[in-house]
Amino acid sequence: LADRSALLGLAIVALLALFAAAGPAVVGHDPDASDFSLSRDAFGAPPGPSAAHWLGTDPLFRDLLARLAHGARLSLGIALASTALATGLGALVGVAAGMASGTRAGALDGALMRLVDVILALPYLLFVTAIGVAVGRADAGTILLVLGLTGWTGAARVVRARTLELAQRDFVASARALGAGPLHVVRRHILPNVGGTLLALATISAGQMILAEAALSYLGAGVQPPTATWGRMLHEAEPYLGVKPLLVAAPGFAILLAVLGFHRASEGLRDALDPAGAELPRGRRLPVDLLLAGGALLLLSTGSPSRVRPPLGSEAPPGAPETPVRGGTLRLAT
């Protein structure tokens, strides 16, 4: 509670969760329904904000705010569920490897850690994208499994190191001397002492999962259209970046805000659970990351596109022949 940076991160996450839960009901528009009574502007872009559509519409004349709210529900749901799966799997592998280390089952520790090393050696986003492309057309459940089954390695390594440390403590040695088996030691002594570490890891992993899901959807390997996700909205708005920056700014800022919120919350949890970091004055720093994100959003949302030159007149340029001539050079400017 003394870390204002962590409180700011928790507030951002809470607001995003509230927006995902109540936003679709408040907006009221169907995220997949197109309003073809609207017309494009002079630049070929969909209309901007109005009383009927508070943030305007996307290229298919669907309400942008409604798609943003439904995308928040799907993106946050996939991120939290895949984080829970990855954290649980990482804790299981880490505890198993840590308890097996130095015993007759030490080969299990070596095999699990070599598997972790191989997966960590691969670029995560590239690895996840390759799996998503291999899976083909995917739904939310498939993306959840892809992210959850590939994002457990970091938690496994941290939990293994923590388990090895706890296994040398006196209270664990006392429990073993009293006849406690490995499962009892894990349940009563290991897991309660790694719970705080897992909570901090899960919080920062949720932001990474949001980014990974957005990357999959942006590249066309995520949840298929017309379902709204933040990454898919970025992909659909990309051709209109020069004439309607708000189409890109809205989902892009939502992704950035979610990642920053989870990151700040995880830093606060880590400092609160780490006695060595309790004295660091982290709560007094300026929110430079949020200020930069807000400035970028302001520039994108308020910038006006370059004006199109008026069409050429009907008069022929000097020296042009009066009748059409076959052949010659046609110069185009793009």
Topology classification of domain 45-302: MetI-like fold (1.10.3720)
Note the pLDDT of residue 283.
47
Q: Which burial class, exposed, middle or buried, applies to 286 when counting CB atoms under 10 A from its CB (0-12, 13-18, 19+)?
A: exposed
Q: What is the pLDDT of residues 153-212, one digit of tens each?
A: 989 999 998 888 888 888 888 888 888 787 888 888 888 888 888 898 999 999 999 998
Q: What is the pLDDT of residues 101-130, one digit of tens each?
A: 877 777 888 898 898 888 888 887 788 878
Burial 294-321 (b: 16+ CB within 10 A, else e): eeebeebbeeeeeeeeeeeeeeeeeeee
Note the pLDDT of residue 71.
92
Which whole-number Å values give the CA distances from 178 to 104, 175, 320, in the listed order?
Answer: 21, 5, 104
